[in-house]
């Protein structure tokens, strides 16, 4: 993925940042909730959408907060799919 494509894809998911963890760049966003139950349901919805696409995030669930990381294992970094799934998460958050 070239810089131009990355810039274009990033513009669609402005709330996501690229972080590095264990030497691998990842897309990350934290979502806020008013309690645990609503955070749980969101995490579950993200997980189901991920499994349908066979593209699997790391999800950290805690009271009032869900953090989602995407990267593509096969390339050890970011692929277009990661941005697509990030946008899908934003849609699920908006649609709650």
- What is the binding site for a second copy (CB under 8 A)? 36-37, 40, 43-44, 47-48, 50-51, 56-63, 73
Q: How far is the CB of 88 from a second copy (least distance, A)?
A: 15
User: Element (H or E) spanning 18, and its range?
Assistant: strand 17-21
CA angle in degrees (0–180, nearest 5) for 56-40-86: 40
Nearer to a second copy, 40 or 92 (CB): 40
DSSP state of 72: B
If the CB atoms of residues 27 and 43 are measured against a second copy, the closer one turns out to be: 43
């Amino acid at each position: 993925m070239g810089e131009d494509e990355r810039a274009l894809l990033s513009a669609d998911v402005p709330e996501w940042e690229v972080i590095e963890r264990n030497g691998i760049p990842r897309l990350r966003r934290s979502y806020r909730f008013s309690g645990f139950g609503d955070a749980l349901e969101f995490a579950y919805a993200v997980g189901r959408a991920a499994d349908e696409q066979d593209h699997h995030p790391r999800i950290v669930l805690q009271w009032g907060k869900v953090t989602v990381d995407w990267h593509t294992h096969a390339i050890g970094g970011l692929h277009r799919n990661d941005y697509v799934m990030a946008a899908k998460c934003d849609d699920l958050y908006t649609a709650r």
